């Protein structure tokens, strides 16, 4: 069975957020022009993902959560989060929620965080411990999981 990777979860939850906003718009909580503030987290999320992806490519290590990494990256966006790509995707989902402005538009961000916490981060951190041992433990103690 083929594993579903985080970007697929991201796009699925983005679709769910948009669908819920239009099909079940429980309550509009952010109106024009304040909803345009959603561009801020969305843009920060895009920048964070591009920056992180470029680091993975530059250091020739895998971005796939089920493969052994060859490098422990502890600088750049990894100084503020052990999971900057997940953080970036979450910021995009939050930004989309703001732009739509309804309560149900934020469902995708909540589900995405829960999915990453349940299905990916524990296994990734176990793998990092196995590959990098004490170096990862020191990093884990000094940098928070999300922010």
pLDDT tens profile 2-13: 689 999 999 999
Name, in order, each residue with C-beta under 8 angstroms of 25's C-beta and a sequence gap of 6 or more. Answer: 102, 104
**Residue 119: DSSP 8-state:** I
* Residue 33, preceding peptide bond in cis (omega within 30° of 0): yes
pLDDT surpasses 70 at 1: no
pLDDT tens profile 75-101: 999 999 999 999 999 999 999 999 999
Task: Report, as an integer, the average pLDDT of 36-42.
Answer: 98
In the structure, what pLDDT confidence band is assigned to residue 25 with cuts at 50, 70 and 90?
Answer: confident
Phi, psi of 69 (to 5 degrees): -75, 150
Nearest to 87 by CA among 58, 54, 46: 46
Phi, psi of 102 (to 5 degrees): -95, 160
């Amino acid at each position: 069975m083929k594993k579903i990777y985080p970007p697929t979860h991201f796009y699925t939850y983005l679709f769910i957020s948009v669908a819920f906003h239009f099909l079940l718009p429980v309550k509009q909580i952010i109106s024009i022009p304040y909803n345009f503030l959603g561009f801020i987290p969305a843009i920060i999320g895009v920048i964070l993902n591009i920056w992180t992806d470029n680091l993975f490519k530059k250091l020739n290590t895998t971005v796939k959560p089920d493969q052994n990494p060859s490098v422990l990256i502890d600088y750049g966006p990894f100084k503020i989060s052990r999971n900057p790509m997940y953080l970036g995707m979450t910021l995009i989902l939050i930004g989309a929620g703001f732009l739509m402005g309804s309560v149900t538009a934020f469902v995708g961000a909540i589900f995405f965080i829960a999915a990453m916490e349940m299905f990916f981060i524990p296994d990734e951190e176990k793998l990092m411990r196995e590959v990098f041992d004490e170096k990862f433990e020191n990093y884990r103690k000094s940098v928070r999981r999300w922010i």
